[in-house]
Structure 1
Amino acid sequence: MTNPTHLPPEALDSWTRAACDELGLDRSDVDIALILDLARDVAHGVARPAAPVTAYLAGLAAGRGTMTPEDAVRRVSSRATQWSS
């Protein structure tokens, strides 16, 4: 069985729609590019395993109304690009 290293854009969109349906979310509220940029910044600036955890944390902050999704991503992306452990 092969495991593709790159997901074609149409498959990512299809998965996002399916996940949104499953979670009762509106697909139009999901900015895939914003999330991928966050994951890139964290994976490169901190560590790869930190990317999904950080995406979850940003989503949690946005979902709780602590800040907008864009502000949450901007803040942790900025922190990740300045990170030195």
Structure 2
Amino acid sequence: MNRTLPPEALTEWAEKLRDELGLDEPLPITLVLDLARDVANAVARPAAPLSAFAAGLAAGMRGGSSDDVRAAVAQVVRLAAEQETTDD
């Protein structure tokens, strides 16, 4: 099985997730991938999926709007950047 997805396959997977989980809005693929990249680079690779999950939980607890998602992601990215500067 090829585990590398072309962009259109990732979009298709995100749509399947959205349908299966009953989500109202499209998944913000680029936002989540950027969060994962930033955390992986600033903290550690294993911290990336955990951080994305935590941001999703926080956004859901705040109401789950697109603004809630962006705010939670921004908090995680800020925290990762702070972690990176304290480790130097």
Normalising by the residue count of structure 2, what TM-score does the alignment of the two structures yield? Answer: 0.82
1:24 maps to which residue?
22
2:56 maps to which residue?
59
- Structure 1 stretch 12-21 or stretch 60-69: which is displaced more? 60-69
- Structure 1 stretch 59-68 or stretch 45-54: which is displaced more? 59-68
The answer to whether the 8 A contact 1:42-1:80 is kept is yes
When you count helix as a share of all residues, which structure comes out higher? Answer: 2
| Alignment RMSD (CA, Å) | 1.8
Deviations 1:38-75 (A, max 9, x none): 00001111111111111000000000117811011011
- 1:70 counterpart = 2:70: yes
- Displacement of 1:27 in angstroms is 4.2
Normalising by the residue count of structure 1, what TM-score does the alignment of the two structures yield? Answer: 0.85
Unaligned runs of 5+ in 1: none
Share of identical aligned residues, percent?
Answer: 51
